[in-house]
Amino acid sequence: MIHFNNVTIIGVGLIGGSLARVMKTGKLAGTITGAGRSKATLEEALGLGVVDRIAENLGEAVEGADLVVLATPVATFEAIAREIGPRMKEGAIVTDVGSVKGRFVKALEKLLPKNIRYVPGHPIAGKEKSGVSESTEVLFQGARWILTPTERTDPEALAAVETLCRAAGAQVRRMDADLHDRVFAAVSHLPHVAAYAMVCTVAELNTGSEEYIDFSGGGFRDFTRIAASSPEMWRDICLLNGNNIIEMIDRYQFSLNMMKRAIRTKDSNKLEGLFRSASDVRKGLK
């Protein structure tokens, strides 16, 4: 088992708060400091007992920390790295939970001092609702936690972060950072875009006296559940992983057009074949 004397979590929301709960429950940390720009969020985290102390000044928050977790929106990582790098102690570990890796991994490795050990990560876990009040120590159980180490990643730091992920109940998988962005553009980012688009499409329709969306049932609600996710976070993800997401949208539109063509031409065999192929794949998901 691993233990960190001092941990700083920058961004104590759903993911950061859940990781803090994991570390408290498992006695994996001595003192956990919650840091960020929102005083109200930090005070809520402190009141809930998720963290032991709070700090709005990021430089002060990381002084003496053995482990620093970046759990803010990905677009903020570079500015945070510039601010905290000079204030961290030699040998400290930095990890993150960003869902876009690619260029950010390279950028952070250059921005952080060479005596700081950076281990890029991405837990595949979440809810449609965000905020520290939604955090839970079981969020990561059974989930995958992707780590995207580079040639510069310190082996001991990598092993420490892997141990932490497994202690949270996650299954650890190592992956190339650029491959990560392409994979998750398909299986995570595209579904969110599709869910947002579906809600927008139906929300614009009405019967003249009632909204179409008022008649939605389980199917619509299941499909669009993730459209309740943070708009700000998904805005940043789409802009930062834009090329990969655009490619996946094109592929999605191609599949939709095949189904559209089969419906238009009343090609029942083609339509059923497309549906059956998708159904078989979906049933095979673990």
H-helix or E-strand spanning residue 32: strand 29-35
CATH 1.10.3660.10 segments of the chain: 179-283
DSSP 37-89: S-HHHHHHHHHTTS-SEEES-HHHHHTT-SEEEE-S-GGGHHHHHHHHGGGSP
Query: Which residue do the tokens 């510039």 mark?
Result: 82
Separation of alpha carbons 185 and 249, rounded Å:
9
pTM recorded for the entire structure: 0.89
CATH 3.40.50.720 segments of the chain: 4-175
- pLDDT computed for residue 286 by the predictor: 72
**Cβ atoms of 32 and 4 closer than 8 Å:** no
- pLDDT computed for residue 37 by the predictor: 84
- pLDDT computed for residue 130 by the predictor: 80
CATH number of 4-175: 3.40.50.720
The segments of the chain whose pLDDT lies below 50 read: none
The rounded Cα 190 to chain-centroid distance in angstroms is 14
Query: Which residue do the tokens 């009040």 mark?
Result: 133
Longest dimension (CA), the chain: 68
Q: Angle, to 10 degrees, between the axis of helix 177-184 and the axis of helix 102-111?
A: 140
pLDDT digits (tens, 9 = 90+) for 144-202: 999 999 999 999 999 999 999 999 999 999 999 999 999 999 999 999 999 999 999 99
Separation of alpha carbons 169 and 139, rounded Å:
9
CATH superfamily for domain 179-283: 6-phosphogluconate dehydrogenase C-terminal like domain (1.10.3660.10)
